[in-house]
Amino acid sequence: MTISTYLNKWHQVPAAVKQFLLRGLLLLVAWKVIYLGFLLPGRVIDAPLTRDVGIITTYGLNWITHSHDYHFKYELGREEDVDLNAVSVMQESVYYHDKKIVGVYDGCNALELFVLYAGFIICVPAALKKKLLFITGGVVLIFLVNILRCIGIAYLIQYYPQHADFAHHYVFVFVVYGLIIAMWLAFAGNIKVKTNAK
């Protein structure tokens, strides 16, 4: 296919879809430049968010088990990078007595999910008040579900380790993304589309 064929196909795309796609692309590029260039190197957002997830996960485990046997430590851990090489990273570790149960890394703090969820809402044309309401409520809900996910993973690792890996990589991912899609649909379902009808 030639470039002119692609351009013809692009011109056939409805204007609202083009606007959504261009806003999304612009937002993605802006987020990656800001995050990778300024926020990630100093862990400006990741460090406090990961710490909060680890601490609240620990409190949640103690509350669920009616004990004070779980505690957390902020420590150096090992994680695989995108090339599957082991790298040292700071993590919030959850311990049961002296046994480490789970490490909460930056990838576990749901920041990328917040951005993904909010980015969709920002790109869809709607009233600002509605966008702010859905973004705020959605981010809080994703945060809480992520805490429950971390509690569930820790609990499974400790008591049902044979199911922990499957739950971590499939069940909990399905639940979290299912929630995000449901919130997107709720947002999009309440949008009043302007028509040219008289």
Instruction: Kindly state whether residue 178 falls inside one of the protein's structural domains.
Output: yes
Instruction: Kindly state whether residue 152 falls inside one of the protein's structural domains.
Output: yes
Angle at 110 (CA atoms; ends 112, 58), nearest 5 degrees: 160
pLDDT tens sequence across 100-150: 999 999 989 999 999 999 999 999 989 999 999 999 999 999 999 999 999
Q: Is residue 77 within 8 Å of residue 103, measured between CB atoms?
A: yes
CA dihedral 87, 88, 92, 96 (to 10 degrees): 90
Structural domain span for residue 89: 16-189
Give 166: exposed, middle or buried? Use CB within 10 Å, 0-12, 13-18, 19+: exposed
Considering the chain, what is the average pLDDT of its residues?
90
Instruction: Kindly state whether residue 3 falls inside one of the protein's structural domains.
Output: no
Instruction: Kindly state whether residue 1 falls inside one of the protein's structural domains.
Output: no
Give the model's pLDDT for residue 87: 76
Instruction: Flag whether pLDDT at 192 surpasses 90.
Output: no
Q: How many domains does the chain contain in total?
A: 1
Q: If phi over 0 gives left and psi between -120 and 50 gives alpha, with beta otherwise, what is residue 80?
A: beta
pLDDT tens sequence across 150-191: 999 999 999 999 999 999 999 999 999 999 999 999 998 866
Instruction: Kindly state whether residue 158 falls inside one of the protein's structural domains.
Output: yes
Token pair for residue 16? 């609202």
* 192/6: higher pLDDT: 6
pTM higher than the cut 0.85 = yes
Q: Distances in Å between the alpha carbon of 176 and those of 21, 108, 151, 169? A: 24, 12, 14, 11
Instruction: Kindly state whether residue 198 falls inside one of the protein's structural domains.
Output: no
Helix 128-159 / helix 172-189 crossing angle, nearest 10 deg: 170
Give the model's pLDDT for residue 11: 85
Give the model's pLDDT for residue 186: 93
Cβ neighbours, 10 Å, residue 25? 11
Instruction: Flag whether pLDDT at 194 surpasses 60.
Output: no
**Residues 26-47: what's their mean pLDDT?**
94
Give the model's pLDDT for residue 197: 40
Instruction: Kindly state whether residue 195 falls inside one of the protein's structural domains.
Output: no
